Structure 1
Amino acid sequence: MAALSEVVGSSRHDGMPAAVARPAIRAGARAALLLECALVFGQGDGVRILHTSDWHLGQHFMGRSRQAEHQALIDWLLLQVSQHAIDAVLLAGDIFDTGAPPSYARELYNQLVVRLHEARCQLVLLGGNHDSVATLEESRPLLAYLGCTVVAAVQEDLSRQLLTLRDKAGQPAALLCAVPFIRARDVMQSQAGQSAEEKQLGLQQAIAMHYQSLHQLALQERDRLGLPLPILASGHLTTVGASSSESVRDIYVGALDAFPSNAFPPFDYIALGHIHRPQQVGGQAHIRYSGSPLPLSFDELGQSKQMLLLELDAGSIASISPLNVPCFQPLCSLRGTLADLQQSIAAALAATPAGQTLWLEVVVEGDDYLSDLQSRIQQLLEGQPVELLRLRRARSQQRASLQAERSTLDELSPQEVFERRLALEQMDEALAADLRQRYRQIVQALQEEQT
């Protein structure tokens, strides 16, 4: 196996990748270098790695561009890199919101790479289920010259997914098993006659085997280096017990769509993406979702948006600290009767920073159907620095059937539309369950075509 510490995940700050700029070290000099590395590693102030995910560059929030927010996010990130002396940034999937991101999203992507390179900070980008493998691959070789490692998809050569993260002096600080979103076709072959549950169980076993193989490769590399390096891993998937939000898309089809956390090998830290709510998995402090840095739907407004700062010292994870991401665009969701809303809207506007426009969702409660509801709410907002992005009525149990008829497609998910159509048919539950399964498979196939 090639000396990964000399090839993968390392770069010189003059812009030339180590694999090009530095010849392989001869065996005689290697022992002396390893001793020097160990001394440097033991004397440092600790290596700092920032875990983030789910940026969704190019996302539109109810038809509004997030470009200004993402620009502010990059500026804020560079400030954290400087203030906290961060050595590496790990973005665990869903870099872009779609497989064909708009040009401004690509510009922000390139800006992120260049500015972190100028800050002498390594960057590792992992593909997510929203990302196109082809889009990420097209610039991967070029970005390698800027200290950025892109792992868009599972690699046939596993050594390409084993990266060495380095400190500011260029010495090995940690090994990273860089796992992106795992597509079923990348790790298993479908067999005729399998049930959905059998396919899901087979996929879980294949994912577990992928992590096991990488972990074993990392152990071998650590032994070869002779350094007490922590072994980290990334992932872009749903684990058992994770709590999601309405903007999170189901990745895998079937009942067994969550990967059990006890199937992970004993990594020192697992940096996860896909779930937008920051959280530990199963109460285990070393398995974490960083969450998305921006709220991607109104139901994420109550969440703390953060990135996770890992400090490595003496070959272990010394600390994990959240860095709270500020709000770059005021958002608010208000719920109440028409009488209540006038006061709550005034309070929300009073809390909006001067010079900024509030993006607002209003949920009107009450059983009375008002044909002029839209105009009434607009009158309350007239002349104020606010944009009404969504107006909907609360669905009370007493008026559920009436509200269902008047619901707009904007208020319904594709699954809800399917369920309503299904409810119009007379069929047994077994057939209905089979149709639901087939529908999910079709949706997943379409989503994979887009990425």
Structure 2
Amino acid sequence: MLRILHTSDWHLGQFFIGKSREAEHRTFFRWLCDTIKTRQIDVLLVAGDIFDTTTPPSYARELYHQLIVDLQPLGVQLVLLGGNHDSVAVLKESAELLRCLNTYVIPGYQCDPAQHLLVLKNHDGKPGAVLAAVPFLRPRDLSQRDDFRSSAGVEAGEKQLQLQQQISVVYQELYQAAQMLASELSPDTPLPLLATGHLTTVGASSSESVREIYIGTLDAFPASGFPPFAYVALGHIHQAQKVGGTEHIRYSGAPLALSFDEARQQKYCLEVTLDHADVSIEALPLPCFQPLLSLKSDLTSLPALLAPALQSLSAGQRLWLELVLTGDSALLSDVQVQLEQLLAPLPVDLLRLRRQRPVDAATIAGSGLSLQELTTADVFAARLAQEQLSAELQLRLSQLHQQALELLQQADAAVGATGEPV
């Protein structure tokens, strides 16, 4: 039997609207160590975006290395995959040294399939599975291969199709290589074959904090492009979810809420248990390490709306708040002062303030409002006002724009309804 804890998108070193996440990450790492110990985890698998930027601050690197040290007494095998936020060079610089600590770092793509195959072992040292450890696949890294050379003059749509095909080829090759390795290690009893990935798949529900990773070249990789691995551990999407309704292709999601639209999400790590051909998956709920709340309210209603969130705070915790002011409150010139007085006695940090108010499209440019304070309709109306169009055509374009927005909202709602985490 082999027990794997699947997690991803730690984003060590992230600053959330000026707030450091260091304390949250330290608490999360304590949770990880306790969980690995109590649930007898054999492998901790991190499917990309270990760091938030390619130049992580020194404290983030210290957290990374300290966790590896803290995991040593637990005898767990650690597998770390590079994501689109990670620097290949930063992850690579200590990779060879960390092998001595039962830690396997795969910073970026290598043409040799053997560089991506890992034997996962249980606490007795016996092979339990073969892993095709696939990090974020950058187009420039794939172009190292002679058969993946890009040619000039190829249209964007064709490039997208080519990239999807190349990624599919990589997974097919690794699947075949993993089969061969598994048969050598255990000719009588086939070992399960697993894979990782850091990419967007068709049907995955994302959030505002997810940076598009193949802008202009690959919108989403189809789940059908994965070979029949027993389990595919994915990263990049921050909400835990199944892919295409399948049980065995999953995003673990990020352990922290990385944007206000993730504030209401329950976060998870996924425990994957392999017993020969049997695969079982359990979603382990994570505690909320930092309460976040996004509210739409006027000043009068704000205290009552804040009350439930404040009552649920633990001792010493503070609430990070995004506030969208509505009604007449949004028009007050001294609203910032009033908010400071209202929130001063409360354990609340107002990180983002927006005003929702009707805006004359012709005056938006000179209004001094930021883009965050405008609705999609405001921006479209302002752009439309710059054109010399008949009233009839303007009305028709506005209707089409509204229909397009509604279709997008319906599509997002449909994905959210079917992309449940467990």
TM-score interval, smaller chain: 0.7 to 0.9
The residue correspondences of 1:315-394 to structure 2 (distance < 5 A) are: 315-317=277-279, 319-366=280-327, 369-394=331-356
The residue correspondences of 1:11-410 to structure 2 (distance < 5 A) are: 46-188=1-143, 189-225=149-185, 226=187, 227-254=189-216, 256-317=218-279, 319-366=280-327, 369-394=331-356, 405-408=367-370
Return the offset for 1:379.
1.6
Distance 1:389 1:115 in 2: 33
Query: Are the counterparts in 2 of residues 395 and 403 from structure 1 also a CA contact under 8 Å?
Result: no
Return the offset for 1:88.
0.3
Query: Are the counterparts in 2 of residues 53 and 91 from structure 1 also a CA contact under 8 Å?
Result: yes
In structure 2, list runs of 5 or more residues that go unmatched.
144-148, 389-396, 398-422
Query: Are the counterparts in 2 of residues 48 and 310 from structure 1 also a CA contact under 8 Å?
Result: yes
The one-letter code matched in structure 2 to 1:386 is V
> Which stretch of structure 1 is more off in the superposition, 205-214 or 254-263?
254-263
What is the aligned-residue RMSD (CA, Å)?
Answer: 2.7
In structure 1, list runs of 5 or more residues that go unmatched.
1-45, 430-451
Query: Are the counterparts in 2 of residues 200 and 253 from structure 1 also a CA contact under 8 Å?
Result: no
SS at match of 2:331: coil
Cα–Cα, structure 1 residues 293 and 403, in superposed 2: closer, same or farther, change >3 Å? farther
2:402 aligned residue: none
Cα–Cα, structure 1 residues 403 and 165, in superposed 2: closer, same or farther, change >3 Å? farther
Query: Are the counterparts in 1 of residues 202 and 221 from structure 2 also a CA contact under 8 Å?
Result: yes
SS at match of 2:250: strand
SS at match of 1:115: helix
Please list the CA deviations of residues 110-160 of structure 1 after superposition, one character each: whole Å capped at 9, or x if unmatched: 011111222100000000000000000000011010000000000121101
Cα–Cα, structure 1 residues 176 and 426, in superposed 2: closer, same or farther, change >3 Å? farther
Return the offset for 1:301.
1.0
Please list the CA deviations of residues 402-447 of structure 1 after superposition, one character each: whole Å capped at 9, or x if unmatched: 67744326669xx99x9999879869x9xxxxxxxxxxxxxxxxxx
SS at match of 1:285: coil
Identity of aligned residues (%): 54
SS at match of 1:309: strand
Please list the CA deviations of residues 308-335 of structure 1 after superposition, one character each: whole Å capped at 9, or x if unmatched: 0001112331x10011110111221221
Distance 2:385 2:195 in 1: 47
Distance 1:401 1:279 in 2: 43
Return the offset for 1:364.
1.1
SS at match of 2:36: helix
Query: Are the counterparts in 1 of residues 231 and 249 from structure 2 also a CA contact under 8 Å?
Result: yes
2:392 aligned residue: none
Query: Are the counterparts in 2 of residues 270 and 288 from structure 1 also a CA contact under 8 Å?
Result: yes
Please list the CA deviations of residues 197-252 of structure 1 after superposition, one character each: whole Å capped at 9, or x if unmatched: 11111111000000000001011112222132110000000000100000000011
The one-letter code matched in structure 1 to 2:233 is A
Normalised by the length of structure 2, the TM-score is 0.84
Matched length: 381
Distance 2:162 2:385 in 1: 35
Cα–Cα, structure 1 residues 85 and 156, in superposed 2: closer, same or farther, change >3 Å? same
SS at match of 1:97: coil
Cα–Cα, structure 1 residues 150 and 401, in superposed 2: closer, same or farther, change >3 Å? farther
1:438 aligned residue: none
Cα–Cα, structure 1 residues 237 and 411, in superposed 2: closer, same or farther, change >3 Å? farther
Cα–Cα, structure 1 residues 234 and 399, in superposed 2: closer, same or farther, change >3 Å? farther
SS at match of 2:254: coil
The residue correspondences of 1:410-425 to structure 2 (distance < 5 A) are: none
Distance 2:156 2:373 in 1: 30
Cα–Cα, structure 1 residues 331 and 121, in superposed 2: closer, same or farther, change >3 Å? same
Query: Are the counterparts in 2 of residues 99 and 130 from structure 1 also a CA contact under 8 Å?
Result: yes
Distance 2:380 2:213 in 1: 19
Distance 2:60 2:210 in 1: 20
> Which stretch of structure 1 is more off in the superposition, 294-303 or 185-194?
185-194
Normalised by the length of structure 1, the TM-score is 0.79
Distance 2:118 2:380 in 1: 45
Query: Are the counterparts in 2 of residues 234 and 270 from structure 1 also a CA contact under 8 Å?
Result: yes
Distance 1:98 1:158 in 2: 27
Query: Are the counterparts in 2 of residues 306 and 324 from structure 1 also a CA contact under 8 Å?
Result: yes
